[in-house]
């Protein structure tokens, strides 16, 4: 009895909602776009720099998960490729070094941040660790 009441309730809800679904499906693409257009949102100017990061031969970035910069403008890229890796580039995009190569806490990269003292903080969700590196790259 209780199950049949639930089915009846579900059917009534669907019948009441049907006209609303039908109206939404009758919209033209222009009307759908007009509904989805944001208003009073400022344009954010930007410049694109394709292939900005320059890696040494036989080194690949993979899936970039986190990006951070330090006070010198150096760029830190935390990647998930075959292995989790943390790369440092100078402000011109030239490769500087890899930090924490083969580190036990690098399993599945999640995020990277740099604090005001230029310490590098790497969050790894595979090892459930937050790893702090000093500016020289030591744990």
Is residue 50 in a domain? Answer: no
Pair of tokens at residue 31: 């009307």
Q: For the chain, what is the domain count? A: 2
Helix and strand totals (H; E) in the chain? 2, 7
Residues 69 and 112 in one domain: yes
* pLDDT tens per residue across span 106-132: 999 999 999 999 999 999 999 999 999
* pLDDT tens per residue across span 34-79: 666 677 888 889 888 888 999 999 888 888 899 999 999 999 999 9
Is residue 81 in a domain? Answer: yes
Q: Is the pLDDT of residue 12 over 60?
A: no
CA R_g for the chain? 25
Residues 29 and 74 in one domain: no
Pair of tokens at residue 81: 């490729």
Cβ atoms within 10 Å, residue 122: 26
- What is the spatial distance between Cα 59 and Cα 56, in angstroms, rounded to a whole number? 6
Q: Is the pLDDT of residue 101 over 60?
A: yes
User: Could you tell me if 77 and 87 are in contact, meaning their C-beta atoms sit under 8 angstroms apart?
Assistant: yes
User: Could you tell me if 133 and 120 are in contact, meaning their C-beta atoms sit under 8 angstroms apart?
Assistant: yes
Q: Which phi and psi (to 5°) does residue 106 adopt?
A: -90, 100
pLDDT at 40: 84
Give the full edge-to-edge strand order of the sheet including 75-80: 63-69, 75-80, 84-89, 95-99
pLDDT at 10: 61
pLDDT at 34: 60
Domain harbouring 129, CATH code:
2.40.10.500
User: Could you tell me if 71 and 118 are in contact, meaning their C-beta atoms sit under 8 angstroms apart?
Assistant: yes
Helix (H) or strand (E) holding 22: helix 2-25
Is residue 110 in a domain? Answer: yes
Q: What is the DSSP letter of 99?
A: E
């Amino acid at each position: 009895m209780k199950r049949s009441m639930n089915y009846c309730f579900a059917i009534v809800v669907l019948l009441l909602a049907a006209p609303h679904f039908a109206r939404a499906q009758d919209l033209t693409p222009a009307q759908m776009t007009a509904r989805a257009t944001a208003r009073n949102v400022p344009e954010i100017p930007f410049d694109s720099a394709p292939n900005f990061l320059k890696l040494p031969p036989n080194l690949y970035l993979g899936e970039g998960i986190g990006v951070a910069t330090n006070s010198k403008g150096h760029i830190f890229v935390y990647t998930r490729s075959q292995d989790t890796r943390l790369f440092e580039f100078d402000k011109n995009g030239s490769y500087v070094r890899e930090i924490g190569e083969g580190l036990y806490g690098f399993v599945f990269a999640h995020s990277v941040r740099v604090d005001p003292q230029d310490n590098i903080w790497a969050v790894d969700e595979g090892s459930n660790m937050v790893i702090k590196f000093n500016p020289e790259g030591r744990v």
